[in-house]
Amino acid sequence: MSNQFKLQPAQIVEKAKEIRKKIIHTNVRAGQGHTGSDLSEVDILASLFFRILNIQKDRIDDPDRDRFILSKGHGVCGLYCTLVEAGYLPEELLDTYLQFDSDMPGHPVRQKCLFVELNTGALGHGLSVGVGLALSAKKTNRRFRVFVLTGDGELQEGSNWEAAMSGAHFKLDNLVLIVDRNTLQLADRTETIMGLEPLADKFRAFGFEVYRANGHDPGDLIETIESLDMHNAMPKAVIAKTIKGKGVSFIEDRAAWHHRIPNEAEVLTALEELE
């Protein structure tokens, strides 16, 4: 199976713009949401869904499809908007975001949304489940790959490190962890709250092959991920340098925007900047 779009980086940049505009509209309409977190991950999600992930709309249950887990479940609006932009979900559904019993609740639910493998929202769950999925592929000789996107503050959860230890022990070269490294968490900078650095060294010490990429450059992300050796008996960590709130100047790199919503004037400015 291959990706059904296979877009070039320049085309993905255009898709990311549209996704960002949808995020602003959707969060404003809902009256709440994790705007900064959503904007941080957009270029990573766009690169995955429009190029990297081997998934296709008419084969959503295919056991050979690549698996993606949004471990930072609070970034779900970014995922919904990406799936809508890709035509996997109808755009009208975004109107129901956060509404009663909506198919688009504030954290992803696999029973409600295609390509959601796990109900995330509590942090530090995706990597363990990713390890289990990658292990299932090894045990059944399937060739699918498993991509897990975590936030960076999320890595303060100890369960990630249990999972990392086992991913290396089981030699899961089909497992790719992407860290949305925007250096901000809910309350403040990660390094102020509970320092993560030297993060790359930590993953290396746990047996991962570690790469760094510009998390806002689809070209760099694609080149990094497509050149990974998926047969070297090592799991991979891609530390994607990002800016929380990327694309909107007054949201960028501000902890206060973890789950703030722009007001009317701010929306106009934001949409102008995203053009």
Positions in the binding site for other proteins (CB under 8 A) = 63, 67, 110-111, 117-122, 124-125, 127-137, 139-140, 142, 158-159, 162-163, 165-166, 169
In terms of CB distance, is 74 or 125 closer to other proteins?
125
Widest pairwise Cα distance in the chain: 55
Residues written for the chain: 275
CB of 143 to other proteins, least distance (A): 12
Cβ–Cβ under 8 Å, residues 268 and 242: no
CB of 162 to other proteins, least distance (A): 4
CB of 172 to other proteins, least distance (A): 10
**Dihedral sign from CA coordinates of 69, 71, 72, 76:** positive
In terms of CB distance, is 63 or 195 closer to other proteins?
63
In terms of CB distance, is 111 or 227 closer to other proteins?
111
In terms of CB distance, is 150 or 224 closer to other proteins?
150
CB of 17 to other proteins, least distance (A): 33
The percent of the chain in helix, strand and coil, each rounded to the nearest 5, is: 45, 10, 45
Give exposure, 237-260, as e/b (b: 16+ Cβ within 10 Å): bbbbbbbbbbbbeebbbebebbbb
Q: Which two tokens stand for residue 267?
A: 């929306």
In terms of CB distance, is 136 or 214 closer to other proteins?
136
CB of 164 to other proteins, least distance (A): 9
